[in-house]
Amino acid sequence: MPVLPIAAVRKSAVTVLAVTLLLPFASFAQRLADTVIPEHYSLTLTPNLKAATFSGVESIEVSIKEPTTSITLNSAEIAYQSVEISAAGKTQTATVSLDKDKQQATFSVSNQIPAGAATLSIHYTGILNDELRGFYLSKGDHRNYAVTQFEPTDARRAFPSFDEPAFKATFNISLVVDKGDTAISNGPIIKDTPGPEADKHTLQFLTTPRMSTYLVAFLVGDFQCSSGSQDGVAIRVCSTPDKVKLTPYGVDIAKYVLHYYNNYFGIPYPLKKLDLIALPDFEAGAMENFGAITYRETDLLIDPKIASINAKKNVALVIAHEMAHQWFGDLVTMQWWNNIWLNEGFATWMENKPVAAMHPEWNIDQDVAADMDNTLNLDAQPTTRAIRAKADTPDEINQMFDGISYGKASDVLLTVENYEGKETFRRGVQKYLKAHLYGNATAEDFWNAQTAVSHKPVDKIMESLVAQPGVPLVSFGQPENGKVAVTQRRFYLTPSITPNPEQKWTIPICFKTATGQQCDLLTPATTSLKVPSGAVFFANAGGKGYYRSAYAPASYSALLTHVESDLTPPERINLIGDQWAQLRDNKTSITAYLQLAEVTKTDTNADVIDAAAGGVAALYERIAQTPKEKAALEIWTRNTYDAEYKKLPAPAEGESPNLTELRATLFGTLGSIGKDPYVIAEARTIADKYLANPDSVNPSLGNTALALAARNGDAALFDKLLHVYQTSSDPDRKVRALQLLALFENPKLTERALNLAVSDQVRNQDAAIEFAISLGNPATRDTAWKFIENNWEKVHAQLTTSSGSYVVGAASSFCSEQERNNVEQFFSTHKVDAADVALRHTIEHINGCIEQRALLQPSLRSWMDAQPGL
């Protein structure tokens, strides 16, 4: 399941906010005993969409290891009509006792059940909830749908089950639905029978392979689909009827990705069909149910004729991510949730490969480098965690779906692949998968397979990076006689924290050569490494190593001279990120950082410009406080980027995606940081034209112009965007318009946007993002905070079980002791579900900003003093 609608979309410096979408949280749990093992489930469910209820008839074939008089499984919000247990030719009626806190039901009988095979027969009812988890109601524009979201611990809300990933079983699923409706599940429909009532029909699905309960799916409604096939597999992309015209793009992506993965893994996709289904109400970005992947509409449905490059990338990457799970996660599943990174890290790493192959013009390698830089910053926070961490309760399990399991784990895999070589790493992946088909595995299983294939110490490298939290900072001396002195320590973005000198890593360091790279292994005992000759000294070839680099002055000076001529775009992004980290650590100056930004200003790659401008934006928003300080950075931005923007040709049909994105990035940077009056005026002109006719403006430039125009917008523009939100049938346009409303900096319009977010016009899956956008913008933050304080009941009513953490997290944009105290006090008395970790991170971020501002303001003033006329 991807973290981000966001996770897959890389955005320019003008974009306001990326909000991580986590999964729904539950409370409490306890591991089940392994003395009763499920083998097969037979499920017949009858949903009543009008009453928001369902009934279920279930049998579970189990294997009992030792005689017992009770069987405990998982159950939540289930009402039991009858339970019988049959074994050794005898059937007993069981009594049911419920433990709500543990989300368990215990079936007890009078006479002992012998070891061996047994069958549980259960009649029960449940609710189609409105919490976007379990078996729930998804509300379309014209009707409701009954759909599922089970990962990680919510299958138990739809059917009593052994709801843990290691309890794999096969499933026979039947759904009794209204005569005019259809249903989708993991397997294809094999039988459609009228009844049992005149207005019903019963759909029976093909038996599934062995799989975990969290991968089961069943969806009921009037879905319509576009179809295709690839390598003998039937592929459909489905939606509500009004959006089926937006499904063909997804079919084309899925066909390419399926063929790519069949070749890469050397294991053909194991099911007869693959459905990708867009749901109106869906909290996660997407969910990898085996053979029936579910999506937010914005992550699957798109009109490629009017969609921006980022929107097309997003859909392609999310599709590729979820399809990678069909092998990594579905076919082979982690033994327990503490190794969820085996699922999510791998899918995040893998998603880039087919998309890069299908669209080389999208420069996915640069996106990967930018994403790694963001993850390194996340992992440099004081309260980060190890990739593999304790996860027993649903709260703990849900909190594992974060930037560490997705981003850091993906980056560690990239580091190891780069060290081993792509083909060797692929053979290790194949060895791992083939050894655990339809089973479960651990981290050790994966890295032992890689070690065996590569004959390199991959086990030591991966254990070092997986078991320890934090980021290695590798400091290099000046290379001499084919060697370079090296030290390592843990890196923090907060300089006041003293790292533990005992914490060190075993990691490959790959130096750039004239023709590629030369790798050496850094261990805790290493004091020097071999370095190549004949090339500029750069210690992270390809920008693929999970570490920060610090260079000796002479080495850095040479890099600065050769950054545009000798480094690749991903390496430039890596260097910019390392220098920003050095600035955050107070080890370099704002003057030095801006010098690097100036050197790269002529770069023709949008992601490189975006990386450099991102640091300038942070200085503008977090460090510069007085009008004079902000004006100095505005002038610098205009002086640096205006000429580069004006060099670019006018938008033209058939131009490269990179040129399109470069234009939008420079335009956005000049408007948002440079406050260029010409750009701001032009943004409004382009925005009005784009709203009137989306075909008339390049969508990347149009979306950037809309964001700038909204920040500076009036009520007339607000009303136009509101109209788009209320009337558009294109999910991407609709949601983008909604989020743009939260950008308006006029306080009255900010309040209008916030009042809209607490109304029934906004889905609760989207409302928290509106609050978070307004909180994340310094110009609207105070208005948003007062609104939240004064309207907490309305705000809280719009938050889902997990989305409250978005609001708490967005409060991290504050940067003073008084604001920190206000945030901490407010959320201590206004509790938000599953947001305790988010609150700790928020307070930590505010404290970090306070420290950063105190440390860097003298550096900012020193830079200003050296600028003529300031």
Question: Positive or negative CA dihedral for 492, 498, 500, 504?
Answer: positive
What is the rounded CA–CA span in Å between residue 135 and residue 125? 12
The 10 Å CB-count burial string (b at 16+, else e) for 512-536 is beeeebbbbebeeebeebebbeebb
- Active site amino acids: 322
Burial class (CB in 10 A: 0-12, 13-18, 19+), 88: exposed
Burial class (CB in 10 A: 0-12, 13-18, 19+), 1: buried
Q: Is 6 helix (H, G, I), strand (E, B) or coil?
A: coil
Give the number of C-alpha atoms closer than 13 A to the C-alpha of residue 528, restricted to the C-beta side: 11
Local structure of residue 491 (DSSP, 8 states): E
Residue of 713, 710, 736 whose CA lies nearest to 725: 736
Angle at 295 between CA 290 and CA 298, to 5 degrees: 160
Local structure of residue 584 (DSSP, 8 states): H
User: Is the CB of residue 435 less than 8 Å from the CB of residue 428?
Assistant: no
Distant-in-sequence, close-in-space partners of 258: CB < 8 Å, separation ≥ 6: 230, 231, 233, 235, 269, 274, 323
Q: DSSP for 451-487, please give it.
A: HHHH-S-HHHHHHHHHHS-SEEEEEE---BTTEEEEE
Distant-in-sequence, close-in-space partners of 234: CB < 8 Å, separation ≥ 6: 188, 227, 272, 273, 274
Between the two ends of the chain, the Cα-to-Cα distance in Å is 50
What is the rounded CA–CA span in Å between residue 744 and residue 717? 10
Q: DSSP for 161-223, please give it.
A: B--STT--BEEEEEEEEETT-EEEESSPEEEEEE-SSTTEEEEEEPPPPSB-GGG--EEEE--
Token pair, residue 836, equals 């305790």
What is the rounded CA–CA span in Å between residue 435 and residue 439? 9
User: Is the CB of residue 620 less than 8 Å from the CB of residue 860?
Assistant: no
User: Is the CB of residue 233 less than 8 Å from the CB of residue 273?
Assistant: yes
